[in-house]
Amino acid sequence: MSLAQFEGCLLGLALGDALGAPHEGGIVERLVWRLIGATVQGQMRWTDDTQMALDIAESLAVQGALDADDLARRFAASYRWSRGYGPGVARLLRRVARGADWREANRSVFPEGSFGNGGAMRAPVIGLYYAHRFAELADAARLSASITHAHPLGQEGAVLVASATALALGTRNPLEIVRAAAAHCALQPFVLRLRTAEQWLQEGSEPDASSVARHFGNGIAASTSCVTAVYIALRFMDRPFVDMQRFCVDVGGDVDTIGAMAGAVWGAANGVAALPQHQLAQLEQGGRLKAAAAALYAGVA
Ligand code: R7I
Ligand code: MG
Ligand code: MG
């Protein structure tokens, strides 16, 4: 476990997010992102995926522990329309900003809670923070997701992505990672997909992007994007980041989020020096992301 891996994880997440954002959504969303996808200095902007990951990292650094109330306040304060939040979470966070308790707000849009991938896309930070306390990781991932995602499927995605990130800090063996991460999952949509992912990794088969999308999904639901992202990160672990990112674009659908989760796991395994430096230089707020990684690392080292 090294600082370079923590930086690789957060910057890999942000880079996957920013590079994927132009490909997300329908024609309207893509046109809007053409207008707002760069800062005034011309740097690539990232979306809600990175913002919420930063919120968790900065909260953990300040509080020295996972504090759900502090996290809810930060999520609500950071909310900006222009970061492309999921529609349900956008409403929920505006309620929290007006004073609602997240424990009620998290069922105010969808009665069962959201099963979107918004709890999972920020979970790599939980993986970094709890890697050396692995027994506590699953509960922490669920709690961090539950502020906006009360649905068990939304939380299972967070557990999977946090586990894969934590495991990638300690081993570069894809099969070991997929098996240990799958051991944390109990819900059928995850278990079945993870079984296929393990099989593909084991036999070294390389299905094309449309086949990956067909089997695992490329949607906004946690159950149709988290296994996709973890599988892609593990398959491309020993190959260049840009090859992995291109594959995410080809898989299509929720490209920023699949790219963010895959980028985080890949970055945790390979470290910041392995990321494409020319693209990193184009990324907004790189200094803030590195500082957040350093503060997180200082909290666990
Ligand atoms: O999960 P969430 O934060 O969205 C994250 C996604 C990522 O792709 C980001 O990059 C950003 O673009 O948004 O936001 P939610 O609004 O909670 O969930 C996303 C969507 O999933 C919702 O807007 C619904 O379309 C769908 N969804 C549900 N639909 C019906 N019933 C989530 N939960 C439900 C549900 O219970
Ligand atoms: Mg996004
Ligand atoms: Mg997305």
Neighbours of 276 (CB within 10 A): 14
Q: For residue 2, give the nearest of 261, 293, 266 by alpha carbon.
A: 293
Banded model confidence at residue 100, pLDDT cuts 50, 70, 90: very high
**Ligand 2 mean position to 21 CA, how many Å?**
7
Which residue segment(s) compose the domain that 283 sits in? 3-300
Task: Please write down the HEC assignment for all residues of 78-100.
Answer: HCCHHHCCCHHHHHHHHHHHCCC
Percentage of the chain beyond pLDDT 70 is: 100
Please report the pLDDT score of residue 103 as a whole number.
Answer: 97
Please report the pLDDT score of residue 205 as a whole number.
Answer: 93
Residue 272 has pLDDT above 90, yes or no: yes
User: Number of structural domains, the chain?
Assistant: 1
**Ligand 3 mean position to 251 CA, how many Å?**
13
Please report the pLDDT score of residue 25 as a whole number.
Answer: 87
Q: Once rounded to an integer, what is the mean pLDDT over residues 176-195? A: 97
Q: Are 186 and 153 in contact (CB under 8 A)?
A: no
Banded model confidence at residue 169, pLDDT cuts 50, 70, 90: very high
Q: For residue 152, give the nearest of 165, 160, 196 by alpha carbon.
A: 160
Provide the CATH number for the domain around residue 140: 1.10.4080.10
Indicate the top mutation candidate among 49, 50, 79, 89 to test ligand 1's pocket, ranked by most ligand atoms within 8 A of CB.
89
pLDDT tens sequence across 16-60: 999 999 999 899 999 999 999 999 999 999 999 999 999 999 999
* Residue 71 structure tokens: 């996290």
Indicate the top mutation candidate among 79, 115, 144, 223 to test ligand 1's pocket, ranked by most ligand atoms within 8 A of CB.
115
Ligand number nearest to the C-alpha of 109 = 1
Q: How far apart are CA 93 and CA 88, in angstroms?
A: 9
Return the residue matching tokens 């109330």.
69
Please report the pLDDT score of residue 102 as a whole number.
Answer: 98
Banded model confidence at residue 250, pLDDT cuts 50, 70, 90: very high
DSSP-derived 3-state class of residue 44 = strand
Task: Please report, in angstroms and rounded to a whole number, the separation of the first and last CA atoms in the chain.
Answer: 8
For 151, what's the count of Cα atoms within 13 Å in the CB-facing half-sphere? 22
Spell out which residues line ligand 1, taking CB within 6 angstroms.
47-49, 84-89, 110, 112, 114-118, 151, 220-221, 254, 256-257
Q: Which atom of ligand 1 is found nearest the CA of 148? A: 17
Please report the pLDDT score of residue 301 as a whole number.
Answer: 82
Please report the pLDDT score of residue 253 as a whole number.
Answer: 97
Q: Which pTM was predicted?
A: 0.98
Please report the pLDDT score of residue 244 as a whole number.
Answer: 98
Q: Once rounded to an integer, what is the mean pLDDT over residues 220-249? A: 98
Return the residue matching tokens 């109990």.
186
Q: How far apart are CA 15 and CA 27, in angstroms?
A: 22
Q: How far apart are CA 168 and CA 175, in angstroms?
A: 11
